[in-house]
Structure formats: structure tokens, C-alpha cells
Amino acid sequence: MNKSHENTALSFERVLFFSDAVFAIVITLLVLELKAPHMDRAVFTEEAMRHELFDLLPKFLGFVYSFFIVGLLWIEHHRIFRYIVDWDFGLVARNLLFLLFVAFIPFPTALFSENYYSRTAFILYAGCFGLAALGKLWVWRYAVSKRETMLAADVDDELIKQISMRSLAVPIVCLIAIGLSFIAVAFGGFAFPLIPLVANLLYRKKKEVTA
């Protein structure tokens, strides 16, 4: 078995397909944490139902928040894999570790939604996203370390730096969120909308002079 054999032993397309499927399942499983309340017809009033649904508000917010953060991780995952043209067992193993954190997300989402006043739950929640984002960065840095063979020819230093720097936005915001949660748990969630801002602070594209 020669080297080229080893490199293609795993069809890359299937690695991406597998990753996409895990993302799609995770993003859809999030809704299973929302248990529909049941009220017996005998005691039922519309007002009581509205009250029950209102009590589910933290869970709705958790669903929406996690949906968009998983969506963001999926978009970023695609972005880096657009530039990766070759792979090996090391890349697949790092990608699997990244997917472990993604697949785990429904748990901290459920935990924090159920106990939205718990700092411990919030730290697990923000920590899981931060670790997933770091896992993605690890995949990228591994590919960069084998740049000669793994990255597309038109990937330049500027682009590598841009992706690497901007990839730090989610982990940094998660750290800020955990820090804020020590003042008050409710403050933690306010940090997430900072992600695009921090990404821009970390790396701003130079003005392009287009012909």
C-alpha cells in the first residue's frame, strides 16, 4: 500500500457529509428539550396555558440561542474546509474531537434552560461552545501545519491569519461570558452578541484596492 492510498483511505466528502449530518441532527434535537405542557380539559383555561408557556421562556431562549451558535459553528466549519484539499488520520481525529463537543451541546443547553439561575450550568454551557470553537481552531492549525499538502494553493498568509484570528472570537466571548456570569448569571448571555464585534477587533480586512 503506497502513501497516496493512505491519504485517500477516507473519502473526504464523506467526512464532510458525516460532519454536516451531526450538525443537522444536533440543531434539530435541541427542540426535544422543549416538553409541551399538558393540561386536562377539566381544569383547562387559556390563561393558565399562556402562563405555562410563559414559564417555558428560558427554554425557548435557550433553544434559539443554541440554534444560532450551532449554526455559526457550522458556517465556520464550512469556511475552513473550503480551503482544505487533502487530509490524513490526524485531521479526521481532530475533527471527530470537534464533533464530540458539537454533539454534546444539547446537554448543557438543556441543563442551563432548566436551571437558568445556576452559574455552574452557565459555565458548562458557555464552556462547551468555547471548547467546540477551540476544537475547530485546532483542526485549522493542524491543516496549516501541513500547509504544503493540505491547503489549497491560493491560500495565502493573510487568509490563514484572518481565519485563525477570527476563530478566537467565540472562545474569547465565551470567556467574557463566564466572567460576567460571576457578577450575575443573567449577565453572561449578554456577551454572545459581541461575537461579530470581537471577530472584527481581532482581524480587520485591509482595504482592498480593486482594479
Cα 2 to the chain's mean position, in Å? 37
Place of cell 438543556: 110
- The residue range among 61-69, 132-140, 172-180, 187-195 that interacts with a copy of itself, by the rule CB under 8 A, is 61-69
The count of chain residues that interact with a copy of itself, using the rule CB under 8 A, is 75
Asked whether position 164 contacts a copy of itself by CB under 8 A, the answer is no
Q: Which of 68, 147, 149, 201 binds a copy of itself (CB under 8 A)?
A: 68
Read off the C-alpha cell for 82: 473550503
Residues 116 and 58: beta-carbon distance below 8 Å: yes
Pairwise CA distance, residues 139 & 195, whole Å: 20
Asked whether position 8 contacts a copy of itself by CB under 8 A, the answer is yes
Q: Shortest Cβ distance from residue 129 to a copy of itself (Å)?
A: 15
Residues 94 and 150: beta-carbon distance below 8 Å: no
Pairwise CA distance, residues 35 & 107, whole Å: 15
Hey, is 84 helix, strand or coil? strand
Q: Which of 58, 86, 118, 141 binds a copy of itself (CB under 8 A)?
A: 118
Asked whether position 82 contacts a copy of itself by CB under 8 A, the answer is yes
Asked whether position 119 contacts a copy of itself by CB under 8 A, the answer is yes
Asked whether position 203 contacts a copy of itself by CB under 8 A, the answer is no
| Residue 47 CB neighbours (<10 A) | 8
One-letter amino acid of 181: S
Asked whether position 201 contacts a copy of itself by CB under 8 A, the answer is no
Q: Which of 7, 58, 61, 67 binds a copy of itself (CB under 8 A)?
A: 67
Q: Which of 7, 16, 138, 164 binds a copy of itself (CB under 8 A)?
A: 16
